[in-house]
Structure 1
Amino acid sequence: MGAYGWKIHPAEGRHSFSRCHGTRLRKCHVKILVVDDEPQIRKLLKTGLTGYGYEVLTAANGREALTIAAQNAPALIVLDIALGSEPDGLGVCRELREWSQIPVIILSVRGDEKTKVLALDAGADDYLTKPFGMEELRARIQAVLRRTVREPGSSTTGEIHAGVLHLDLVNRRIKVGGEEVHLTPIEYAILRLLALHPGKIMTHRMILTEVWGPEYSAMTHYVRIYVNQLRRKLRENPAANVRYILNEPGIGY
């Protein structure tokens, strides 16, 4: 048991074999950048993640983290929110998002809703509250990396399927069970935004800024109204486990 209650996996060396993606044993070439101002925490995280087969880089402050990220293009960044100097974790996220979409998992001793929203609005992909176990961190890393691989890119066909829901983004057509569903422009914009970021939490502010514009960033009731309309049109049925849009209470969807 390490600091903050982290359970460290025995180190197996940089080139060890591990279930990096939870399916089969193979050599893992996934590069992860760990950013924390405490040397002991950097060492613990590096030991644990190296033991799972990841290649781990470390940085002691935000400026060093941005430099290493630019030079080494890690697959993911594990970033403490409080770095003891500027830029802090939120500042690193904001600067990073100006030129990169490298996924970021924020670590923090603060588990309050406001801090989580700030982190997600800054561009973080996930948020993990200390203390936590290394198995939980590994699971979060795997989930974020899977989402990153699945997200549509330049080679996408423009079609997204989720059960009986079919989105044709090229022709702006939505079908449920083969039957076309007519959405308003706002409803379509919200659904498209959520569909292009599967599994990622989109805060109310993110949705409002993207769909309505930054001047509407405080109008959270707009999102709730339109999401409820969307759910009705998409024929969501929680009792039958038919759900496409999941709530993150107080944060977003």
Structure 2
Amino acid sequence: MIELRTPAEIEQMKAAGRFVASVLEATRDAADVGVNLLELDALAHRMIRDAGAESCYIDYHPSFGASPFGKVICTSVNDAVLHGLPHDYRLRDGDLLSLDFAASVDGWVADSALSIVVGDADPADLELIATTERALDAAIAAATVGNRMGDVSAAIGDVADAAGLTVNLDFGGHGVGRTMHGDPHVPNDGRRKRGLPLRAGLVVAIEPWFMRGTDEIYTDRDGWTLRSKDGSRGAHSEHTVAITPDGPLVLTARAS
């Protein structure tokens, strides 16, 4: 069921957006060569506890997960493109790391993701990350009253196409509110002027994620981490966005 939020409810959701942004900033800044993925998860866990927030991940057990996630942040490295389960791995020079985090503050959820390279970066990795960011910006700009969901999806797909990338449609964006994943689904490609009419009060997580060499994925033996079928690297960018009469409002905007 699609739920529209009142202006007062969107105002309440801002606290969750600010908190999620702060955790991503902290874990991004802590990520460096030699840092263990479990250290990043522990940092996010401390911040959740200190803020009195609630993790959306630790007990999360959807049909596509082998078991409850058990951690509080997704850490996807290189060919791990989504749902990376933190494990005993120390980041290496040149690793492409995607961080995806969602939490609930006072009963409201926000969800966001970013990608970085630790150490010396391959320019191709930086361009892949920049492509997801351009796609996210284009999608947010299309998230206006009077447009349709297809306009948002097509904006993402157009950026991918211009970069010579194909798009996996198995996973995409989603509604956000009292829970992390709700209606509507936000595909990462689509046709303009098709789909759900966008109305004020709709809050969605928009999340383009691209792989450099394929659009096919498989599930790692850990039962969670999704990897590119050909071993190519992936990147992921995401924001929680409220559609308002005055335009899109990015609830998870980061200070830097």
TM over 0.5: no
Structure in which a larger fraction of residues adopt helix? 1
- TM-score (normalised: structure 2): 0.24
- TM-score (normalised: structure 1): 0.24
